[in-house]
Amino acid sequence: MKRPSLRVQLVGVFVLLYSVPFIIFIVWMMDHIQVDFLEEVDGQLENVAVKIDSLLKNEGKEISSTKNVIHAFATLLDPSHTLFVSLDSVTVFRSANFPFDVSSMSLEGSSQLSTVRKGDAWYRVYQKQTNGLVIHIADNITILEHTITESRLLLLAYIPLVVIISVVTGYFLVRRILRPLDDIIIKAREISSENLNQRIPNPHTDDEISRLVTTLNEMIERLERSFSRMERFTANASHELRTPLTILKGELAVVLQRERTAEEYRKIMKSNFEEVSRIANTVERLFMLAKIDSNLIPVEHEIVDLGTLVEEVYSEGMVLAKETAITLELDIRDRVVMRGDVILLTQMLLNLVENAIKFNHPSGTVRISLERVDGVARVSVADTGIGIPEPFLDRIFERFYRIKTGAPSKNTGAGLGLSIVQWIVDIHGGTIEVRSRPGTGSTFLVFLPIHSRYNPNKP
């Protein structure tokens, strides 16, 4: 069964909260009016019976004198009251308009109040008996009964009208309340992947609608950033792959034009190998970034001896440094440990060392150091290379961002390494800083939390 819409549900709730209490109140009010009126009538009837009983006690049980007293008292009664009095089964007084046959009227106990219908008339009857004296007093309440009955019928006739008014009023109120939601729906349907720069207008009313709009706009902003990053990623990836492929295609086309010597083939194959390596490295890093964006890279949290890790990176860096005549230095001042992923931490440091070697001057120096500073581990990679201009320092960790440094184009890379370094530092709860002066060199400082509870002396 299809669930009713929110609009229908709200209108239904409004009808229940408005019409039902109103109807209950009217019914209670009519009953309360009837009860109050009957209580007033009952009090008058009981008061008359008490006075008659008191008069007869003073006169005794002499029939003649009792009749005279009752006749005199009856002239003082309200015209709507009718009276019947008997003493020891002898009728003492009966009003001319007393409508009942007393022989058919039963009396349970010493007194009794009841509402009796006689033809089209309604009476409130009070009956009392004591020491042979029986009193029947009736008050015509036909007008009251007819009024109550007509009011109830009128109420029944008004119930559909009240419900209709509730439905119409509720519909317009709910429509007014939900109008901002309709505007949100219309605007949200207009937003697609082609115009994610648009936002849903915020009424700034500091209510649920405003908070909903704020949340939706924040979601659209995140989607815009994601789509923009995806578009840049696709464009940059295509560009990075197109350049080496174009070089490969051009060199192979040149090779096929004529026969060449073994030395020429060797140079071309070496150049092709470098381009293929560049493509493979770019694809590998693109694949890693894709897994990073999808949270598919498992991160271990094991005890890592940063001193040992830095020494291993230093050993691997020595191999790279020999090919370029770069001097590599190691300075481990403190032995510190942390919890982290050995593979990712090694990749992070290797990327920094490779960049320091790649963008260094011939016969330059790269210094790797480790120390404890203010309760955290500080790993630094400093070089004496070409440096980074200050305006570009804030952007070097962006994907595919590269600075024109004057270095050979084959050494510039794809601009992905530092973004991976930034991610690895972030997932380990650390921070990274860059200090650089053009022509003097750059220093990358990585601050990582120390696992203080670990004691390396224990097995």
Dihedral over Cα of 218, 223, 226, 228: its sign: negative
Bridge partners, residue 448, by sequence: 377
Q: Do 233 and 281 lie in a common domain?
A: yes
Q: Do 278 and 313 lie in a common domain?
A: no
Are 134 and 128 in contact by the 8 Å Cβ rule? The answer is yes
| pLDDT score at 60 | 58
Examine the fold and report which residue of 134, 156, 178 is the final residue of a domain before the chain moves on.
156
Across the range 252-272, mean pLDDT stands at: 82
Q: Do 152 and 10 lie in a common domain?
A: yes
| pLDDT score at 376 | 94
Asked whether residue 235 is assigned to any structural domain, the reply reads yes
Q: Residue 260 is which amino acid?
A: R
First to last CA, the chain: 66
Asked whether residue 212 is assigned to any structural domain, the reply reads yes
pLDDT class for 458, splitting at 50, 70, 90? very low
φ, ψ of residue 299 to 5 degrees: the values are -115, 120
| pLDDT score at 179 | 84
Q: Is the pLDDT of residue 169 over 80?
A: yes
Query: What is the rounded distance in angstroms from the CA atom of residue 445 to the CA atom of residue 303?
Result: 21
Unique residue bearing structure tokens 């970034």: 289
Measured in residues, the chain has a length of 459
Are 87 and 129 in contact by the 8 Å Cβ rule? The answer is no
Q: Do 268 and 308 lie in a common domain?
A: no
| Helix (H) or strand (E) run with residue 340 in it | strand 337-340
Q: Which of 293, 276, 274, 317 is nearest to 408 (CA)?
A: 274
Q: Highest mean pLDDT: which of 104-113, 161-170, 403-412?
A: 161-170
Q: Do 282 and 326 lie in a common domain?
A: no
pLDDT class for 452, splitting at 50, 70, 90? low
Asked whether residue 214 is assigned to any structural domain, the reply reads yes
Asked whether residue 458 is assigned to any structural domain, the reply reads no
Say what percent of the chain tops pLDDT 90. 19
Q: Do 406 and 350 lie in a common domain?
A: yes
Q: Do 115 and 33 lie in a common domain?
A: yes
Q: Which of 18, 14, 10 is nearest to 181 (CA)?
A: 10
pLDDT class for 22, splitting at 50, 70, 90? confident
User: pTM of whole model > 0.85?
Assistant: no
Asked whether residue 203 is assigned to any structural domain, the reply reads no
| Helix (H) or strand (E) run with residue 241 in it | helix 208-257
The CATH number of residue 273's host domain is 1.10.287.130
For the segment 131-144, what is each residue's pLDDT rounded down to a tens digit?
778 888 888 888 88
Q: Do 17 and 134 lie in a common domain?
A: yes
Are 45 and 124 in contact by the 8 Å Cβ rule? The answer is yes
More confident residue, 272 or 333: 333
Q: Do 283 and 320 lie in a common domain?
A: no
Q: What is the mean pLDDT of the chain?
A: 83
The CATH number of residue 54's host domain is 3.30.450
pLDDT class for 433, splitting at 50, 70, 90? very high
In sequence order, the 6+-apart residues with CB closer than 8 A to the CB of 42 are: 113, 124, 126
Q: Do 216 and 150 lie in a common domain?
A: no
Asked whether residue 35 is assigned to any structural domain, the reply reads yes
| pLDDT score at 456 | 46
Lowest mean pLDDT among 99-103, 323-327, 413-417: 413-417
Total count of domains within the chain: 3
Asked whether residue 181 is assigned to any structural domain, the reply reads no
Are 128 and 111 in contact by the 8 Å Cβ rule? The answer is yes
Asked whether residue 129 is assigned to any structural domain, the reply reads yes
Examine the fold and report which residue of 235, 258, 293 is the final residue of a domain before the chain moves on.
293
Q: Do 430 and 313 lie in a common domain?
A: yes
Domain that holds residue 93: 6-156
Examine the fold and report which residue of 293, 315, 334 is the final residue of a domain before the chain moves on.
293
Q: Do 281 and 336 lie in a common domain?
A: no
Q: Is the pLDDT of residue 130 over 50?
A: yes
Say what percent of the chain tops pLDDT 70. 92
Helix ranges (H only) for 60-87 are: 63-74
